Amino acid sequence: MDDEEIKTEEPRREEQPKNEPEGFITGRKNPRGRLQFLNIIGQIEGHVLLPAQNKSTKYEHVIPQLFTAAEDPEIDGLLILLNTVGGDVEAGLALSELIANLGKPTVSLVIGGGHSIGVPLAVSAAYSFIAPSATMTIHPVRINGTIVGAPQTFDYFNKTQERIIEFIARNSNISKARIDELMLDTSKLALDVGTILIGEEAVREGIINSVGGLRDAMEKLYEMVEELRGSGG
């Protein structure tokens, strides 16, 4: 009698979930819509690498993912969670401009802090929240390292600052004049100029729309998604 060939079935391999891009998490599908979360933490890293021990958000990683969020028909809205100390002005403004013109409902939530270039990032969303204990620091443009002591250097700083002020005013309910006042206030910070706004103060100044938390931000974003659907968008 010939030996029968014994066949053994290989154990089924479960399909591995796709790795989410750095800083991005895609929520589960539900009848109200599917949301994507963008986490901006630490320092906004621009054209120069930060030391390895620094927590950072790399703008070159975020830009292509914003494009994907805009193009993906399964993504209905974007929630930006901010806890940043600021960082590279060019990189921060680049991300802010892309978020402001994403073409889908966007909501931002400042938790912890949304300082410096984090202010344009916070107001770039169509609607913004700040946690009651979160802070936002508004101050003039700064630079590290050697600079040329010439009038042209001051003009460059002034133009860069104007770009930031113009973006904030265009995407929030605060005037350019008031932003300038907050930036140049000498009574709020020791050995420095600028203003720290805590929670409700940022709302009263017209920078942020509402005080709230994660549930409030998600609920608002779902409402915006549903409203867009209802209008046939």
Q: Are 113 and 136 in contact (CB under 8 A)?
A: yes
Q: Which domain holds residue 63?
A: 33-45+54-227
Catalytically annotated residue among 108, 116, 128, 172: 116
Instruction: Evaluate whether residue 145 is within a structural domain.
Output: yes
Choose among 229, 20, 224, 198: nearest CA to 108.
224
| Residue in this structure with the two tokens 């100044």, named with its chain if needed | 205
- Percent pLDDT > 90 in the chain is 67
Alpha helices in the chain (DSSP H): 59-71, 89-100, 118-123, 151-170, 176-183, 200-204, 214-230
What pLDDT is attached to residue 12?
A: 45
Q: For 7-18, what is the mean pLDDT?
A: 44
188: CB partners within 8 A, 6+ apart: 194, 195, 196
Task: Give the residue, 9 or 220, on which the prediction is more confident.
Answer: 220
Instruction: Evaluate whether residue 26 is within a structural domain.
Output: no
Instruction: Evaluate whether residue 110 is within a structural domain.
Output: yes
Note the pTM of the prediction, 2 decimals. Answer: 0.86
Instruction: Evaluate whether residue 15 is within a structural domain.
Output: no
Residue 123 to residues 80, 110, 126, 151, Cα–Cα distance (Å): 11, 10, 7, 32
Confidence of residue 149 (pLDDT cuts 50, 70, 90): confident
Compute how many other C-beta atoms are within 10 angstroms of the C-beta atom of residue 105. 24
Label residue 212 exposed, middle or buried (CB < 10 Å: 0-12, 13-18, 19+): buried
Instruction: Evaluate whether residue 218 is within a structural domain.
Output: yes
Q: For 226-233, what is the mean pLDDT?
A: 84
Residue type, 10: E
Measured CA to CA, the distance from residue 102 to residue 65 in angstroms comes to: 11
To the query of whether residue 116 is one of the catalytic residues in this protein, the response is yes
What pLDDT is attached to residue 21?
A: 53
Total count of domains within the chain? 1
pLDDT at 150 over 90: no
To the query of whether residue 61 is one of the catalytic residues in this protein, the response is no
pLDDT at 18 over 60: no
pLDDT at 78 over 50: yes
What pLDDT is attached to residue 192?
A: 86
Confidence of residue 11 (pLDDT cuts 50, 70, 90): very low
Instruction: Evaluate whether residue 76 is within a structural domain.
Output: yes
Catalytically annotated residue among 108, 124, 139, 172: 139
Instruction: Evaluate whether residue 28 is within a structural domain.
Output: no
Domain of 184, CATH number, reads 3.90.226.10
**pLDDT tens track for 187-200:** 988 878 999 999 99
| Residue in this structure with the two tokens 């729309």, named with its chain if needed | 209
Instruction: Evaluate whether residue 125 is within a structural domain.
Output: yes
Q: Are 174 and 207 in contact (CB under 8 A)?
A: yes
